[in-house]
Chains A and B, each alone.
Chain A
């Protein structure tokens, strides 16, 4: 995957930095490809880098010691992966996996930490992102507990689509089941319902959203809670993120 055409400003946090702070960070940013299924962090591992995606989606999965896991948040070009590092966690309790291939920039842990500690616009933005991420995690928790699988699937599809340029998602039902922390049959049934209603088309591992407004009408309020918090806390973008 070529990284030639991307710029760090494709990441909304980096784009929102004042020019001076941006320039100070620039020499430390290294372009990286984020291929499907690449693990940026393993649970309990030490983080060498913080990642700023410019495209694609990274899933944060929480892994229990019996191996079962559930997705607790998704991050794309609106954020960064690796907040444990500047928030004072030595290791990350979650696993970060590329759920939809893309690209981004990474920065060495020590370099980012130093800039963060200096305060200013970078710290401000990163803390706001942290709060948005916490909201996404807590809302996901309550949604997973109480809402029907087809509603959870709608939420997951909309949150993912917000982070992608097109209406297609490449995904297996097994992966979705892992993400939602439900059994595969549950996802098959939920996806079947949405397909029968003409909201999505699912074939050979590719989900195409056919009717976004109706998907948005069917989703539980958890999606709006997360979206509003992201819109309120994070810098607006005129490009890919807006729908």
Chain B
């Protein structure tokens, strides 16, 4: 099944007015909510704005006929990551309008500079192909050609297309990324366990830790945990 917008514009290349207006809606929503995330003082409100931002970006993906990416964006970012964020915010009770001072000196300056650098890189990557008239679509090769590879890429369906790319051409980056994420998660667990041992003992969860060994999946972790236990 092709996207709703492809039905609205049979040629599927030149944006129809519906696609244009949907893009405007999604873009305004994404920018507005993104700005609110920075400006809002209430941490939970800011997190909710980020959730709406993720939905706006999912809408943009859907407009580009990347259905799979859109739905994964919702499942992973809105459904898993932001829920965990909210969970922590609620547990720690950082919902009052507190103003945090800089933990690291020069944090703000660095954030602004790095943010600007990222902006330049992204704009360069996105707009680069369009700056030179000969290179509008390197795949199609013709000067002034628009990229019309979408139907070919989605021939077997969007899901199959993404899956094939992910497990053939981009297999190595994909696996490296997942290994990186696993390492990060394990590292967080190790660090969290070391620091939390003394002051968490009065929580009911800690009693369970005493009676049964924690079910860490990896050997190093159990070793690290056992060192701590008297």
Chains A and B form a bound pair:
no
